[in-house]
Structure 1
């Protein structure tokens, strides 16, 4: 299935996004992780076609999308809301990995009426836990805005009470995939995130690590397609 790349103007600036699949199929809006871009979902897009259409934007500060200099999780949530409105998406599936998974939680809390299903990949809602902070200066070869890393890191490691309270607003069916012992992400936080949601369940993928959709792609794709088809 051919993937087409497009550019759209949103309030924050120009955003690049990729579309794979047939227009009249259910849309899966896929949000990538920190330091990646929409191409991270190319294999997933091919696996889902032709049953589903996958749309994968580059988040602000990533890929070919706008670099704003100022970054926050809620600003990224608002970018997604503007993107959804511009493309007139409705009754779509929201899929997010890591940073993209957090943005997905925040989006569904605010605009749950648009989302039919939510899937996150090894992603808890942010809560306070220790992890070494990124260096102030960008390493060589970085292709995304390092300001996004340094500014988002504190938010991703801080408990925001109203975000946790608002998990109860996510009423759509939700699948939270986690990578088990091979992941550096705190797995108990993913379980806790699911417990705060009305219709969520967690599936652990042994050996999945953090980027399950790359490390254990076949297993990831099986769980994802079963869930999207309503089989789980």
Structure 2
């Protein structure tokens, strides 16, 4: 059973989804650009009843506050405030794409809070070429397009401090990648893993970028094995 809640954080009201019993180990899941917490509903069902999954709508997404101003570190700080508000500790942090970057930034800032880190086809940002998004939101976009246009430069620029601070993430980390069918630079995922003290990279062939959707069975198999300490 999934329940939806609203919580007041310093930046405004945020919405999150909760699946599973509160006495189970918690997985905090962060979605990608343009998505919301419902992107993890199927994952939540797959790992229940052993785990409780909490999926936050990041600022500018889903039903959470639209702040008008966006940065990756502001999103990291939102997650930190959310973790404090829910009194989470020793939890698993799971992130896809934008959410994966925010997960890296949170884990390097608060390493003692994170039990395990899992990212889905996500390197830490580096300088690489990709067409910039249009200034105006395409038809059908449901999130705040300001988030896309403002975060794009940060997502395509190397921040030396962020790369240096990856070494602070001492928990076991699993970096899943989609292989040659993904548009994300796969070698940068390997580079990210090399900066982490305890990381492994697993490719899910044919997964593309959103491999947690396109190769759901393989994704949940690797995820559950890792969460149980078997991978």
Distance 1:210 1:131 in 2: 15
Match of 1:174 in 2: 173
How far the C-alpha of 1:45 sits from its partner, in A, is 0.2
How far the C-alpha of 1:140 sits from its partner, in A, is 1.2
Distance 1:207 1:228 in 2: 23
Q: Superposition RMSD on alpha carbons, in Å?
A: 0.3
TM-score calculated relative to the size of structure 1: 0.99
TM-score calculated relative to the size of structure 2: 1.00
Listed as ranges, the matches of 1:1-232 within 5 Å are 2-232=1-231
Distance 2:151 2:56 in 1: 18
Distance 2:192 2:40 in 1: 24
Q: How many residues align?
A: 231
How far the C-alpha of 1:127 sits from its partner, in A, is 0.2
Distance 2:163 2:140 in 1: 36
State the Cα deviation string for residues 158-198 of structure 1 (Å, max 9, x = none). Answer: 00000000011000000000000010000000000000010
Q: Please give the secondary structure, in 2, of the residue aligned with 1:50.
A: coil
Alignment gaps of 5+ in structure 2: none
How far the C-alpha of 1:74 sits from its partner, in A, is 0.1
How far the C-alpha of 1:105 sits from its partner, in A, is 0.1
How far the C-alpha of 1:55 sits from its partner, in A, is 0.1
Distance 2:21 2:228 in 1: 17
Distance 1:189 1:18 in 2: 31
Distance 1:171 1:33 in 2: 24
